């Protein structure tokens, strides 16, 4: 008999996709009332393993026991019946419906939906689990952090005793992460077992009790969190001892004669609902500088990026690149002014059904046309050159949709950086990428900074901002709450600005103001 302190036990799980072995004889044991990290790089097999537990995939080999009983999980409804809930990175919510409707959807409700009762029950459940959400709010109006809470609530409402969270912090700001962790600790105290999929060591150290590290589909180690160190986990994860991030070159940061290349003056914009998303955003970015833009998700970062990319109208103020006014310009004019754009949503910036070569040429087809027809040889050569230069694992004729996230991002980087832009607008550049690709993207950004590009780095990953930025601007409810030089930008200070609790006294000026 398995002792009842074990909530889930997976033994010898193997899953193949064609020739790829995603899970190779993986053992995984989740203790009751424990938070157990599943740590590994992207592609290590973490998500696959949990999709098997949740019934989204079926394992080719291996057994699963839940509460000591052998379990046959063929579909999510089997997993739900066994008290297993999963919150994936891509939320399965219906945006036009309310929180309550989303929570009770798929739940057995009888024929008639008594919405008032449901609202009340959902509100009660939310209070019981300490999940703050407004039952009547429409999901489409919620921020990413709030949507995640709805997903968790959905699982808890169905009496989940095992909760699988797939990279839950990827989209959250520090305060939201703290809130999530606080909630998870409370749930753990109530006896809930949590699988916490992550590749962020700090968070794993912070919140979990045990860690199972996966590498290349195999278990690289199982340790007690209190008995390990980040360095040890990193070694298990990547199979090498150090993977230091490139550090900033202080000498170039001290450059004093720098020129502002990107100037924003009281920029305003509306969000998709027609409400003010940006209110008088003002700051400058200097050449050879990375300006980080930190903020809790949904405070206007996406809208600002879109305005600067030319995909959202600018309703007030001015945007000046070098000496050109590009307020309200379309993408074509913005690119001509010397702006390179690496957007948040990779899939909406490349045409997935087109080839790598076509996507690399798409923004500047005029340069690949001779006598009215496309020079296909030139398009191919251009792609081959960029593929070699940026170490992209793809062939020119591969369709973009077949590329991994890291390679797709490299295609976008290559397309932008080969033109040596004066200004680079980059949003969430490493979201969803593994450590290797993340490191690569960051080093390329630093290289552009050395070259003299003015870079606006919009990221919800505070570590990323702190590692790369010369200055950090914080946005809160569509306004710049403050701009701090890197030396003063510690997480606590930033956290307060991001929460709107403090306003920096500094005026949004250039590097000359730095201490």
Q: Does 157 bind other proteins (CB under 8 A)?
A: no
Site residues for other proteins, 83-142, by CB under 8 A, read none
Q: Which stretch binds other proteins (CB under 8 A): 289-297, 308-316, 318-326, 478-486?
A: 308-316
Q: Does 310 bind other proteins (CB under 8 A)?
A: yes
CA-CA distance, 441 to 429, in Å (whole number)? 7
392 touches 407 (CB < 8 A): yes
Q: Which stretch binds other proteins (CB under 8 A): 44-52, 297-305, 372-380, 445-453?
A: 372-380
Nearer to other proteins, 86 or 350 (CB): 350
Q: Does 72 bind other proteins (CB under 8 A)?
A: yes
In angstroms, give the least distance from the CB of 358 to other proteins. 6
SS (H, E, C) 195-256: EEEECCHHHHHHHCCEEEEEECCEEEEEEEHHHCCHHHHHHHHHCCCCCCCCCCCHHHHCCC
61 touches 13 (CB < 8 A): yes
Nearer to other proteins, 74 or 240 (CB): 74
Nearer to other proteins, 42 or 355 (CB): 355
Give CA separation, 98 vs 115, 127, 135, 138, 381, in Å.
Answer: 10, 17, 7, 4, 51
Pick the binder of other proteins from 325, 330, 397, 513 (CB under 8 A): 330
- Using only C-alpha atoms, the chain has a radius of gyration, in whole angstroms, of 24
Nearer to other proteins, 11 or 493 (CB): 11
Size of the residue set binding other proteins (CB under 8 A)? 31
In angstroms, give the least distance from the CB of 263 to other proteins. 22
Q: Does 48 bind other proteins (CB under 8 A)?
A: no
**DSSP letter (8 states) at residue 355:** B
Which are the contacts of 191, defined by CB distance < 8 A and separation ≥ 6?
Answer: 32, 33, 161
Nearer to other proteins, 29 or 404 (CB): 404
Q: Which residue has the tokens 């002014």?
A: 337
CA-CA distance, 292 to 301, in Å (whole number)? 11
Pick the binder of other proteins from 349, 430, 448, 481 (CB under 8 A): 349
Q: Does 353 bind other proteins (CB under 8 A)?
A: yes
Total H helices, total E strands in the chain: 17, 22
Q: Does 343 bind other proteins (CB under 8 A)?
A: yes
Sign of CA dihedral 76, 80, 82, 88: positive
Pick the binder of other proteins from 49, 350, 455, 462 (CB under 8 A): 350
In angstroms, give the least distance from the CB of 443 to other proteins. 25
CA-CA distance, 390 to 131, in Å (whole number)? 44
Pick the binder of other proteins from 363, 384, 439, 488 (CB under 8 A): 363
CA-CA distance, 120 to 126, in Å (whole number)? 10
Greatest pairwise CA separation for the chain in angstroms: 78
Q: Which stretch binds other proteins (CB under 8 A): 19-27, 142-150, 315-323, 335-343?
A: 335-343
Which are the contacts of 120, defined by CB distance < 8 A and separation ≥ 6?
Answer: none
Q: Does 332 bind other proteins (CB under 8 A)?
A: yes
Nearer to other proteins, 72 or 443 (CB): 72
Nearer to other proteins, 374 or 501 (CB): 374
In angstroms, give the least distance from the CB of 294 to other proteins. 24
Q: Which stretch binds other proteins (CB under 8 A): 116-124, 174-182, 209-217, 330-338?
A: 330-338
Q: Which stretch binds other proteins (CB under 8 A): 318-326, 356-364, 432-440, 446-454?
A: 356-364
- At 138, give phi and psi (nearest 5°): -80, 140
Pick the binder of other proteins from 29, 369, 404, 504 (CB under 8 A): 369
Tokens of 137: 């709010």
The DSSP string of 32-95 is: TT-EEEEE--TTSSHHHHHHHHTTSS--SEEEEEETTEEE---SHHHHHHTTEEEE-SS----T
Nearer to other proteins, 127 or 374 (CB): 374
Tokens of 452: 């003299």
Q: Does 244 bind other proteins (CB under 8 A)?
A: no
Nearest CA among 66, 88, 54 for reference residue 11: 66
Residues that bind other proteins (CB under 8 A): 58, 72, 74, 309-311, 330-332, 335, 341, 343, 347-354, 358, 362-363, 365-366, 368-369, 372-374, 376
């Amino acid at each position: 008999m398995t002792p009842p302190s074990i909530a889930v036990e997976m033994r010898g799980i193997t899953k193949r996709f064609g020739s790829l072995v995603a899970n190779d004889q993986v053992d995984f044991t989740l203790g009751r009332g424990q938070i157990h990290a599943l740590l590994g790089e992207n592609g290590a097999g973490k998500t696959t393993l949990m999709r098997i537990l949740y019934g989204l995939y079926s394992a080719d080999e291996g057994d699963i026991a839940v509460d000591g009983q052998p379990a046959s999980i063929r579909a999510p409804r089997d997993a739900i019946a066994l008290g297993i809930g999963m919150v994936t990175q891509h939320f399965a919510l219906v945006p036009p419906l309310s929180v309550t409707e989303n929570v009770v959807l798929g739940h057995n409700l009888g024929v008639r939906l008594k919405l008032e009762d449901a609202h009340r029950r959902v509100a009660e459940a939310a209070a019981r689990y300490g999940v703050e959400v407004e039952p009547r709010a429409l999901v489409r109006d919620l921020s990413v952090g709030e949507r995640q809470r709805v997903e968790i609530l959905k699982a808890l409402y169905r009496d989940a005793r095992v909760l699988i969270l797939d990279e839950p912090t990827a989209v959250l700001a520090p305060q939201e992460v703290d809130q999530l962790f606080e909630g998870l600790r409370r749930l753990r105290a109530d006896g809930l077992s949590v699988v916490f999929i992550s590749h962020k060591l700090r968070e794993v150290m912070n919140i979990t009790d045990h860690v199972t590290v996966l590498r290349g589909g195999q278990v690289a180690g199982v340790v007690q969190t209190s008995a390990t160190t980040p360095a040890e986990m990193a070694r298990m994860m990547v199979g090498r001892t150090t993977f230091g991030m490139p550090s900033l070159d202080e000498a170039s940061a001290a450059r004093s004669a720098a020129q502002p290349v990107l100037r924003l003056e009281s920029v305003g914009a509306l969000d998709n609902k027609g409400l003010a998303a940006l209110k008088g955003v003002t700051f400058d970015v200097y050449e050879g500088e990375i300006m980080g833009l930190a903020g809790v998700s949904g405070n206007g970062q996406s809208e600002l990026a879109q305005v600067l990319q030319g995909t959202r109208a600018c309703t007030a103020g001015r945007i000046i690149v070098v000496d050109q006014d590009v307020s309200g310009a379309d993408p074509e004019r913005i690119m001509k002014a010397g702006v390179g754009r690496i957007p948040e949503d990779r899939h909406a910036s490349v045409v997935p059904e087109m080839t790598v070569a076509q996507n690399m040429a798409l923004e500047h087809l005029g340069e690949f046309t001779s006598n009215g027809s496309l020079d296909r040889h030139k398009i191919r050569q251009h792609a081959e050159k960029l593929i070699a230069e940026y170490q992209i694992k793809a062939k020119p004729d591969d369709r973009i949709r077949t590329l991994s996230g890291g390679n797709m991002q490299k295609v976008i980087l290559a397309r932008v950086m080969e033109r040596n832009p004066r200004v680079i607008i980059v949003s969430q550049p490493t979201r969803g990428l593994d450590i290797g690709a993340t490191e690569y993207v960051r080093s390329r950004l630093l290289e552009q900074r050395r070259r003299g590009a003015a870079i606006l780095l919009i990221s919800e990953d505070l570590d990323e901002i702190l590692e790369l930025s010369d200055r950090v601007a914080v946005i809160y409810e569509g306004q710049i709450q403050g701009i701090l030089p890197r030396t003063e930008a510690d997480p606590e200070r930033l956290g307060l600005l991001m929460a709107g609790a403090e306003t920096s006294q500094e005026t949004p000026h250039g590097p000359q103001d730095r201490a």
